[in-house]
Amino acid sequence: MKARRKLEELKDAKWDAFGSKDCFVEAVENCLHSVNFNETNRQRSRHKRDSSEKPDLSERRNALYQKVVAPLSRLAVVGFEGSDEPPLIRIPNEVHSKSISANGNKELQNSWGEIHHAHSSFLSGPSESEGGFFPHLQVIAGHINRCRRLANTAKPIRVAILDTGCQKELDFFKDNRRSKRLRGWKDFTMAGSQSAIDTFGHGTFMARLLMHVAPIVDIYVIRVAENTEDLQDHEQNIVKAIVHAGLDPEWKADIISMSFGVPNERKKEYKAISDAIDKVTKERDGSVLFFAAAGNSGIRQENFPASHEHVISIYATNSDGDFLGSNPSQPHDGPKLLGAYGTDIPSFIKEEIQTPFPKADLSAGSSIATAIAAGVAAMMLSYVAALPTLLNFKSAETECAKLHTKNGMQQMLYVMSALKGHKHCFINPIGFWGEKGKDMEVFTAVCAAVDQIKG
């Protein structure tokens, strides 16, 4: 084809004083591959989609943005590096000349190399025996930790887990580096335990998963029920927990994770919970993130509080990003759905939980996905806290701060997602980071995300 011949000519052409030609070539090449607008790279590496399944207009627009507009956006930011030609989007010269990331920092270069290797390994298929997708997520966490250290960013992100408690004697938590991350405890059940306890196992499982994904954040645990079956009967405990996690001066969690829910048709019975979420959101000027499990009903609507307007609802996927059949049903014209890993948890992690909790319910579903999604969000907040210093670009703080809001983080998760069928967005941090080459590209993605915030 003539177009492909011209593309090859473009690739071979030498553009003097233009160091970012690849961004332009990437955008042009993506335009020529119609498959970019039908399925994701990960899907193509695994299986062929049913030819009758066509993305709707909004999905095609999203693909166009990710595959064409985003590379051109990066080009607009960096401009003609190494020449006198200015970028289209003005970023001060010191971002390029003085930033840690731009100065060829060997440690960061090696770190990006590890991310790309992890991405390639993941595309070939995560091995359950080697920990599934977890080792790849930990490579990303390692990069973020290096960025924070180089930027001297000390204040950790805080995540509150509302559940059945936490058993600190779990082998995983005995490592001093992990035990010190369990920073806060509160028990609103009748037991009122002053020390961390869990007699059911669900809360311990959620804390274990979240810390594995986000090893550098501080975790605060609130026991709202002794088991998951009793959660529906403990509305006031949940109300107290939400207010305490969000407004207590010594807590003020950045993220509140709730791996539970009640049928949405009963949400009017739980108005006090809705009011508590509204109260915390208002008093924090919107700078607090709530995550909740969409549910595992298969036919009902998503659960409450996942359905609350200030809460990010999380659905469950397998390690390929395919949404599980146990997820709640949604109308065809409903909003885009966010899904995270909700199954394929390595057996050694399950065995670790089942040893002290032989009857613990560790089944696949949105509870697991919520803990993992909250961990991914916590790591993103941990990263953007260091990014302005890393880029020597103080003005970046304004854009990065927007990820602390529900709309900002939700848009960021969409940007990090791979489209899996009709409005099914699989949160794919491994793919997101693996397709980047430097920290400025991540900042460009952050800008693209917050630019989508409506109102």
Is the pLDDT at 126 greater than 60, yes or no?
A: no
Comparison of pLDDT for 93 and 158, the residue scoring more: 158
- The contacts found for 56-65 with CB under 8 angstroms, 24 or more apart, are 56/422, 56/423, 58/336, 58/423, 59/419, 59/422, 59/423, 62/414, 62/419, 63/36, 63/37, 63/419, 64/37, 65/448
Query: By CB neighbour count within 10 A (0-12 exposed, 13-18 middle, 19+ buried), where does 239 fall?
Result: buried
The whole-angstrom separation of Cα 343 and Cα 201 is 17
- Both 56 and 125 in a single domain? no
For residue 124, how far is the Cα from the chain centroid?
A: 22
Is the pLDDT at 52 greater than 70, yes or no?
A: no
- Both 81 and 121 in a single domain? no
Identify the CA nearest to 46 among candidates 116, 140, 118, 123: 123
Write down the catalytic residue from 20, 367, 382, 417: 367
* Number of independent structural domains in the chain: 2
pLDDT-based confidence at residue 100 (cuts at 50, 70, 90): low
Catalytic site residue 308? no
Average pLDDT over residues 31-51: 55
Amino acid making up residue 267: K
The whole-angstrom separation of Cα 20 and Cα 81 is 7
- Residue 85's pLDDT is 44
Count of C-beta atoms within a 10 Å radius of residue 115: 21
- Both 40 and 179 in a single domain? no
- Both 134 and 203 in a single domain? yes
Give the best-scoring range by mean pLDDT among 169-178, 238-247, 291-300: 238-247
- Angle at CA of residue 333, ends 332 and 337, nearest 5°: 75
The whole-angstrom separation of Cα 377 and Cα 84 is 38
**448 in a domain, yes or no?**
no
Average pLDDT over residues 288-312: 92
**450 in a domain, yes or no?**
no
DSSP string covering 128-168, please? GGGTTTHHHHHHHHHHHHHHHHHTT--PPPEEEEEES---T
3-class secondary structure, 417: strand
Average pLDDT over residues 294-306: 87
- Both 9 and 121 in a single domain? no
For residue 158, how far is the Cα from the chain centroid?
A: 15
Buried b (16+ CB within 10 A) or exposed e, 30-64: beeeeebbbbbebbeeeeebeeeeebeeebeebbe
Is the pLDDT at 239 greater than 80, yes or no?
A: yes
- Both 216 and 313 in a single domain? yes
Could you tell me which residues come within 8 angstroms of residue 392 by beta carbon, excluding any fewer than 6 positions away? 94, 95, 98, 99, 100
Are the beta carbons of 428 and 416 closer than 8 angstroms? Answer: yes
Structural domain boundaries enclosing 176: 111-434
**69 in a domain, yes or no?**
yes
Comparison of pLDDT for 404 and 69, the residue scoring more: 404
Amino acid making up residue 454: K
- Both 124 and 194 in a single domain? yes
Tokens of 264: 């949405």
**449 in a domain, yes or no?**
no
**95 in a domain, yes or no?**
no
Identify the CA nearest to 74 among candidates 438, 453, 428: 438
3-class secondary structure, 258: strand
Which CATH number covers residue 314?
3.40.50.200
List residues bridging with 304 in a β-sheet: 262
**164 in a domain, yes or no?**
yes
Catalytic site residue 367? yes
Average pLDDT over residues 405-429: 94
pTM: 0.81
Q: Which of 55, 90, 125 is the last residue of a domain?
A: 90
pLDDT-based confidence at residue 350 (cuts at 50, 70, 90): very high
**61 in a domain, yes or no?**
yes
Could you tell me which residues come within 8 angstroms of residue 120 by beta carbon, excluding any fewer than 6 positions away? 434
Write down the catalytic residue from 136, 202, 212, 424: 202
- Both 218 and 309 in a single domain? yes
- Both 69 and 150 in a single domain? no
Could you tell me which residues come within 8 angstroms of residue 296 by beta carbon, excluding any fewer than 6 positions away? 316, 326, 327, 328, 365, 366, 367
- Both 115 and 82 in a single domain? no
Catalytic site residue 274? no
For residue 116, how far is the Cα from the chain centroid?
A: 18
Beta-strand ranges (E) seen in 197-237 are 218-223
**19 in a domain, yes or no?**
yes
Quick one: angle between helices 134-150 and 202-213, nearest 10?
60
Tokens of 336: 């885009």
- Residue 59's pLDDT is 67
Q: Which of 70-84, 158-172, 210-224, 388-402 has the lowest mean pLDDT?
A: 70-84
- Both 55 and 170 in a single domain? no
Write down the catalytic residue from 96, 101, 143, 163: 163
Identify the CA nearest to 304 among candidates 267, 257, 273: 267
The whole-angstrom separation of Cα 194 and Cα 232 is 24
For residue 258, how far is the Cα from the chain centroid?
A: 15
List residues bridging with 341 in a β-sheet: 317
Q: Which of 12-16, 49-53, 195-199 has the lowest mean pLDDT?
A: 49-53
- Both 120 and 185 in a single domain? yes
Is the pLDDT at 61 greater than 80, yes or no?
A: no
Could you tell me which residues come within 8 angstroms of residue 36 by beta carbon, excluding any fewer than 6 positions away? 30, 63, 67
